[in-house]
């Protein structure tokens, strides 16, 4: 990630390599106008040819329109490159599920109902 991002306290991005062809991006805090830019930059950097990026939003407390746009762009880029972007909202995380559902992005972006570790497992 590049950029002079001033991030609020309690907000973090962590990249966890999960094995061949799968990367997990853990996000914590609120995804709003300020924090969507580094999320977008991370997604653009992580989406590679034919690979899967799992975005763990289980510790996100707010998902605004700029964050939705970053997720949509990441999912579209992954598809163009023959990969996948999978969003893991976490169990009963209305802060993430509600905006995805209200905007219809739950029908456009792949949503996993389990944990990030389960979503990162290779398909059999």
Q: What is the domain partition of the chain in residue ranges?
A: 12-120
Quickly tell me which residue has 């991370």 as its tokens: 42
Q: Is 6 or 48 the better-scoring residue by pLDDT? A: 48
Does residue 33 contact residue 68 with C-beta atoms inside 8 Å? no
Confidence grade of residue 123 (pLDDT, cut at 50, 70, 90): low
Query: pLDDT tens digits for 95-113?
Result: 999 999 999 999 999 999 8
- Helix, strand, coil share of the chain (percent; to 5): 35, 30, 35
Strand bridging mode 84-88 / 110-111: parallel
pLDDT confidence of residue 1: 46
CATH classification for the domain delimited by 12-120, as one of 3.40.50.300, 3.30.750.24, 3.20.20.120, 3.40.630.30: 3.30.750.24
In the predicted structure, residue 47 carries a pLDDT above the cut 50: yes
Confidence grade of residue 3 (pLDDT, cut at 50, 70, 90): very low
Helix (H), strand (E) at residue 58: strand 52-63
Cα dihedral 13, 44, 53, 32 sign:
positive
DSSP-based three-state secondary structure for 26: strand
Query: pLDDT tens digits for 70-95?
Result: 999 999 999 999 999 999 999 889 99
pLDDT confidence of residue 18: 72
């Amino acid at each position: 990630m590049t950029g002079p991002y001033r991030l609020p306290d309690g907000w973090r991005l962590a990249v966890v390599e999960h094995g061949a062809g799968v990367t997990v991006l853990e996000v914590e805090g609120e995804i709003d106008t300020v924090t969507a830019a580094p999320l977008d930059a991370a997604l653009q950097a992580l989406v590679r040819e034919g690979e899967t990026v799992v975005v763990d939003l289980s510790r996100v407390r707010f998902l605004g329109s700029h964050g939705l746009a970053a997720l949509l762009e990441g999912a579209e880029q992954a598809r163009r490159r023959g990969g996948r972007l999978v969003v893991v909202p976490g169990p009963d995380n209305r802060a993430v599920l509600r905006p995805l559902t209200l905007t219809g992005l739950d029908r456009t972006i792949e949503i996993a109902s389990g944990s990030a570790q389960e979503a990162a497992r290779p398909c059999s």
